[in-house]
Structure 1
Amino acid sequence: MSGIRPLRMVSVAAIGATAGYSACHYWNTTFFQFSTVHAESPPSDAQAALKKMVWKGFTELKLEKAEMVNHNVRRLTFALPDDQSITGVSPITSLLTRHTPEGGFIPVFRPYTPVSANDQPGYVTFMVKKYPNGKGSGKMHSLKPGDSMLFKPLHEFDYKPNEYSAMTFVAGGSGITPIYQLTRAILDNPEDKTKIALVYANNSEEDILLKNEFDDLAQKFPDRFNRTYVVSKTTPENEGTYQKGYITKAILSQVMPHKLNERNVKVLVSGPPPMIEAVAGAKGGFGWTQGSLGGILGELGYNKEEVHKF
């Protein structure tokens, strides 16, 4: 990685250590989209239209199953009202949680993006990373099967099939969940021909969420989806399997060759604020607005309209 300026390298360690992404993501979605009517995906058939949930404000869902994925990430599966119900939300839409801490008076709101398909009947699943002193993630990790949580959809990014010929997703840590949701939606649609390149950064191999799912998609759609994993540290037996160290200009240049001959492109950047700033420039308005474009993508010639920061 020598020769790359430190300012243009993303310390993957920040991904695991910072709780800032969760807070920034929360303020952004809550203050600007709290009252926004969520967009719904079109039903695949008439039967699906009848199953789609009607979200009226916050809806109580009961936890059905919980399991630890790694040392700080929990997979939580909540039951929908019945076995035939589907969430019906469109990508990218998160579900905002609401709870009031024991002994407290002020409710806590946090958005989490489902990793289950929006047409999956009967349940919705999340992968939640627990942050030190995190009020939202701490509550989600404390839930036991049978406990309930309140949810409300928040639509965060508009996407239309074939709107772009190519998309690049740059993600860090738990910022991968909205990226996975959109990746699945694109590749599962036989009418959508969009090509996707993913760069996903983490502290270690253990921290790579949804790796098996992304690997399966790469095998199933070799001409439309490729992924690059970047880790700060790796085990000796896996040396060479991952890009080691940081997200750099060189790495992004390798996975974004379409930029040289296509202009109909979009880049989504999702992760903690230090990563977003290094890759695409800091968000504005204390994380409430997109801000100006900078960082590595600015150096590569992208403009503000071609990049969206979460």
Structure 2
Amino acid sequence: MSLFLRRIAKAAPIAFSNAFRGESKSNFNCFRVPVGAIAAITGGISYYYYFSSTNLVHLEAINEENSPKVALNPDKWIEFKLHETANVSHNTKLFRFTFDPSAKLGLDIASCVITRAPIGQDDEGKPKYVIRPYTPISDPDAKGYFDLLIKLYPEGIMSQYFAKLKRGDVVEVKGPIEKLRYTPNMKKHIGMIAGGSGITPMLQLIEAVLKNPDDSSQVSLLYANVSPDDILLKQKIDTLAASHPNFKVFYTVDNPSNNWRGGEGFVSKDMVLKGLPRPGDDTLILVCGPPGMMKHVSGDKAKDRSQGELSGILKDLGYTEEMVYKF
């Protein structure tokens, strides 16, 4: 590991604690239903968008009186420079982007950013882009950098764009895009069901709760993956659970190894009953993962990306739409 990687691993242990252990030797297997469809970092789907002009805006920090500098702009595409990458698993990488070291990213809990990459021109000669949402997993209070955890799919247009980036290359980012407005102690019990790279918005919220001594929320995570090798940042998650009594985690995998001691198979009613808070006015269940898992657990979002109707095992167990949020 380079001196730089050791230094940033020490400076940002939550994002990097398990990111420099090399690639897993296991072969990549696509998710199977219900955990088995392609996972989206925020539960969204890549889409194309057309702009009449590129109108690139270089990195800037908003410096208003009595306001902290922030690097993001919800109305402009900002160029962020790639500083370093690290392997997290056999098909996932962590990308660190940098900006003004005196500024914060400007990310709220819980929110994501959107990225875009050029993919040529349309029939009218106008620039064409692929746009993709991602949830940064770095501390929102960190200055001068942010980290994206990205699963690299062989046929993924945006993920392959990231895979080819070299140090010093730039990526256009806009945001933040608010998903769920979280306030400390908004719910006494917070349950989370994540599949694959759907762990990223959960990590963002977990860290916000655990680093706040005035937040007494009890957080429970049910994390599903194809195999033990696919579990992202497991060492960090386990460390957080071991050091914070208000956070617990349970893992389940489709293809367990011989020495696997966690759950086996898809997320089940029994897993939810044993690992997550029961339905109630002071309970919030968060769900993020591949489409198959979403359909099985809670039902996917509506076509307009609103929350949509609650279905699946959460509805069967008595949770209501007011108790569930789909990322």
Asked if Structure 1 and Structure 2 have the same fold, meaning a TM-score greater than 0.5 normalized by the shorter chain, the answer is: yes
**The residue matched to 2:294 in structure 1 has which SS?**
helix
Residue of structure 2 equivalent to 1:255: 275
Q: Distance in 2 between matches of 1:142 and 1:54?
A: 24
Pick from 114, 136, 148 the counterpart of residue 96 of structure 1. 114
For 1:288, give the aligned amino acid. Answer: R
- Aligned pair in 2 of structure 1 residues 86, 23: CA closer, same or farther (>3 Å)? closer
Amino acid at match of 1:198: L
Shift of 1:19: 3.2
The CA distance in 2 between the partners of 1:89 and 1:16, in whole Å, is 29
Q: Does the alignment pair 1:107 with 2:123?
A: no
* Aligned partner (choices 147, 153, 160) of residue 131 of structure 1: 153
Residue 217 of structure 1 aligns to a residue whose secondary structure is helix
Q: 2:68 aligns with which of 26, 45, 50?
A: 50
**Cα pair 1:15 1:271 within 8 Å, conserved:** no
> Contact conserved, 1:51 with 1:84, CA < 8 A, in 2?
yes
| The one of 80, 95, 105 aligned to 1:87 | 105
- Could you tell me which residue of structure 2 aligns to residue 156 of structure 1? 179
- Residues 49-95 of structure 1 show CA distances to partners (whole Å, capped at 9, x for unaligned) of 53433525111100000122222101100012x22221131111111
Corresponding position of 2:289: 271
Amino acid at match of 1:211: K
Alignment TM-score, normalising by the size of structure 1: 0.82
Where in structure 1 do 4 or more consecutive aligned residues deviate above 6 Å?
none
Does the Cα contact within 8 Å between 1:201 and 1:247 map onto a contact in 2?
yes
Displacement of 1:15 in angstroms is 7.2
Corresponding residue number in structure 2 for 1:64 = 83
**For the Cα contact (< 8 Å) 1:168–1:197, is it kept in 2?**
yes
Question: For residue 209 of structure 2, what is the aligned residue in structure 1?
Answer: 186
Letter paired with 1:304:
E
Q: Which moved further from structure 2: 170-179 or 88-97?
A: 88-97
Q: Does the aligned pair in 1 maintain the 2:39–2:196 contact within 8 Å?
A: no
Matched letter for residue 324 of structure 2: V
Conserved 8 A contact 1:12-1:246: no
- Aligned AA for 1:219? A
Mapped partners of 2:145, 2:232: distance in 1: 20
Task: Please provide the CA RMSD for this pair.
Answer: 2.6
Structure with more helix by fraction: 1
Cα-to-partner distance string for 1:262-297 (whole Å, 9 max, x where unaligned): 521110100011101111123222x62222111111
**8 Å Cα contact 1:53-1:85 kept in structure 2:** yes
1:296 to 309, 313, 316: 313
Instruction: Tell me which residue corresponds to 2:23.
Output: none
Q: Offset at 1:114?
A: 0.6
SS in 1 for 2:315: helix
1:218: how far off?
A: 0.5
What's 2:322 paired with?
305
Q: Secondary structure at the match of 2:68?
A: helix
Q: Are the aligned partners of 1:12 and 1:201 in contact in 2 as well (CA < 8 Å)?
A: no
Maintained 8 Å contact 1:74/1:127: yes
Unaligned runs of 5+ in 1: 1-10, 31-46
Q: Secondary structure at the match of 1:157?
A: coil
CA distance in 2: counterparts of 1:127 and 1:27, whole angstroms: 16
* Percentage identity across paired residues of the two chains: 33
Aligned to 1:136, what secondary structure does the other structure show?
Answer: helix
Unaligned runs of 5+ in 2: 1-29, 50-64
What TM-score results when the alignment is normalised by the length of structure 2? 0.78
Q: Which secondary structure does the structure 2 equivalent of 1:50 belong to?
A: coil
How far does the alpha carbon of each residue in 1:71-128 deviate from its partner, in whole angstroms, 9 at most, with x for none?
2101100012x22221131111111101212566311110111110001122101110
The alpha-carbon deviation at position 206 of structure 1 amounts to 1.1
CA deviations 1:15-64 (Å, max 9, x no partner) are 77533746960469x9xxxxxxxxxxxxxxxx995343352511110000
Which AA in structure 2 matches 1:191?
A: D
Residue number among 197, 219, 230 corresponding to 1:207 in the alignment: 230
- Kindly tell me: are residues 268 and 23 of structure 1, through their superposed partners in 2, closer, same or farther at Cα, counting changes over 3 Å? closer
- The secondary structure found in structure 2 opposite 1:25 is coil
2 CA distance for matches of 1:216 and 1:48?
A: 37
Please point out which of 163, 169, 176 is paired with 2:192.
169
Q: Check if 1:117 corresponds to 2:139.
A: yes
Which of 218, 224, 247 aligns to 2:241? It is 218
Question: Does the Cα contact within 8 Å between 1:265 and 1:306 map onto a contact in 2?
Answer: yes
Inter-CA distance 277–15: structure 2 relative to 1 (3 Å threshold): closer
Post-superposition Cα deviations, 1:129-152, rounded to whole Å, max 9, x if no partner, equal: 012321111111111111000111
